[in-house]
Amino acid sequence: MSYTIRPLVAEDEPLLWEMLYHAAHMAEDGVTSADAAKTHPFLAKYVQGWGRAGDLGVAAIESVGGRAIGVAWVRHFTGVEKNYSVVDETVPELAIAVLPGYTDQGIGTRLLRRLLDAARSLYPAIVLSVRADNPARRLYERVGFVAVDEITNRVGGTSLVMKVDLLR
C-alpha cells in the first residue's frame, strides 16, 4: 500500500475526532459513534479546538483516494487539564490511531517516528497512556517509551503511563 505522511492542520479537527474514537478504543467500550468522543469529559480535550499553540501531529494519507488511515498527535495540557501527576507540565500527551484493517503494516511506527522527530525541537519529552494488555505497548517500547506509572484508566482497567525523553 502506498501512502504519504503530512503534518496536521487546524482543518483536520473532524479527522481527529474520528481517530480519537479509535485511539481510545471506544468501540471496545460499547460506544458506536465517534461523536461520543466530543462529549466525553476525559477525551474531548485531546481534539477540541485543534490548532492551538503547541499542537503537533501527522497523518498517513493513502496515495490513491486520499483517505486518512492513521494519525499521531501531541497536545500540551497544564493545570486541571493535565492527566499525569508523575509528569512535568512541559511534557505533552500523545494520541495515535491506525484504522482497523491497516494495522501491523508499519504505519503506526512511521507516524510515531515522524512525530517524535518533529517534537524534539519543541518538547523535552512526550507521555502517553496505554492499556496494559494493548499490543501497541511493544511499539512504544521500541521507539524508546518507558513505563513511569500504572493507573486505573477511564473504563476501570489498568493502563501504563509511558514517557520518552527527547533531549539527547
Q: Assess whether pLDDT exceeds 80 at residue 67.
A: yes
Q: Is residue 50 part of a domain?
A: yes
In a domain, 148, yes or no: no
Can you give the pTM of this predicted structure? 0.93
138 inside domain = no
Residue 59's pLDDT band (boundaries 50, 70, 90)?
very high
Domain that holds residue 47: 3-122
CATH number at residue 105: 3.40.630.30
**Which residues have a Cβ under 8 Å from the Cβ of 130 and sit 6 or more positions away?**
136, 137, 140, 159, 160, 162
Would 151 be classed as within a structural domain?
no
d(Cα 20, Cα 68) in Å, to the nearest integer? Answer: 13
**pLDDT exceeds 80 at position 93:** yes
The answer as to whether 127 is a domain residue is no
Looking at residue 84, its pLDDT comes to 76
| pLDDT at residue 128 tops 70 | yes
Domain membership of residue 142 (yes or no) is: no
* Number of domains observed in the structure of the chain: 1
